[in-house]
Amino acid sequence: MYTTLITTGQLMTLQQTQKPLMLFDCSFELMKPLEGDQQYLQAHLAGAVRADLARHLSHHLVRAEPVEASSPSTGSGRTDVPASGGRHPLPSREHFAAWLASIGFDSSMQAVVYDRQGANYCGRLWWMLKWVGVDAVAVLDGGLQAWQAAGGAVAAGADAPRRASSFTPGPAKAVLATSQTVAEKLARPSQTLIDARATPRFRGEVEPLDPVAGHIPGALNRPFGLNLGPDGKFKPAAQLKAEFLELLGGRDPSSVVHLCGSGVSAVPNLIAMELAGFGTTALYAGSWSEWCSDPARPVAQG
């Protein structure tokens, strides 16, 4: 069972066994939301399911998926309540589980997620699967580029329809922080915020996406790309551990809550801390886009 990373060689070996396996292509381009679908159609790991950030891994488009009669309704045509705010709000665990069931995923499977963007988007699905109780989910280290360089099989075109399963969510194996929990612990030693956005955005020098520039007071900055080496793969565990210890400066690693702009690019930092041996840390899924939507919440710059 692979629970954090899987190498191309390990995946090739796994494909030769009888272990149930599902691959997910999470490629996405933030400024060109339709580009990920085109990338998938051009080339993807043979047999991979398409998992789109906007369509499958965020609330506002998941609401169009079929739901059970017992699902909550807001009375406004929306049949789901999001689990977070922000630009990419989390769907509820129940609705995400319904999508997994619709594509035939079940808890006996090993899930492998990948993208073309340095684990920026596939990390979201990795975390969400943990959140609905799946432990056997791993990021393909190096993504599609590493797979193709190793001679792995790729396919083009749309995926074939799949038979539905009866997947239901189990106990969460991921920790979800909210605006309320972050605000309650602000400036306390029991919480250390790590912001994964690029440093100019963190400082408030530029803000291309959200209405307010800056960061949550007291947050530390570690752009998510720092977790990868020149080959696009995660750095060795010992190196990651040393870098995070330096960043934390004596703060308790278990107190860390990760954030970014909308709860997506924060996940590579979370994965890196797990690889480094720090265990499970929390994700503020709403992140800066949710935090800055309330003018009463404090903002820092610089």
Angle, in degrees to the nearest 10, between helices 122-131 and 93-102: 110
Q: How far apart are CA 127 and CA 230, in angstroms?
A: 24
Q: How far apart are CA 41 and CA 159, in angstroms?
A: 9
Q: How far apart are CA 268 and CA 224, in angstroms?
A: 6
Catalytic residue among 26, 122, 260, 292: 260
Query: What does the pLDDT look like over 218-227, one tens digit per residue?
Result: 999 999 999 9
DSSP 162-218: ---------S-SSEEE-HHHHHHTTTSTT-EEEE-S-HHHHHTS--SSSSS-SB-TT
Whether 260 is catalytic? yes
Question: Which stretches of 3-121 are DSSP H helices?
Answer: 8-15, 35-42, 59-62, 93-102
Strand pairing category for 49-50 and 21-25: parallel
Burial 24-42 (b: 16+ CB within 10 A, else e): bbbbbebeeeeebbebbee
Query: What does the pLDDT look like over 41-77, one tens digit per residue?
Result: 999 999 999 999 999 999 975 433 332 322 333 333 3
**What CATH code would you report for 175-291?**
3.40.250.10
Query: What does the pLDDT look like over 70-107, one tens digit per residue?
Result: 233 333 334 478 999 999 999 999 999 999 999 999 99
Can you tell me the mean pLDDT for 128-146?
A: 98
CATH 1.10.40.50 describes domain 5-155: no
Can you tell me the mean pLDDT for 202-219?
A: 96
Residue-averaged pLDDT of the chain? 92
User: What sign for the dihedral angle of Cα 67, 68, 74, 75?
Assistant: positive
Query: What does the pLDDT look like over 28-39, one tens digit per residue?
Result: 999 998 999 999
Q: pTM here?
A: 0.92
3-state DSSP assignment of residue 243: helix
CATH 3.40.250.10-classified regions of the chain: 5-155, 175-291
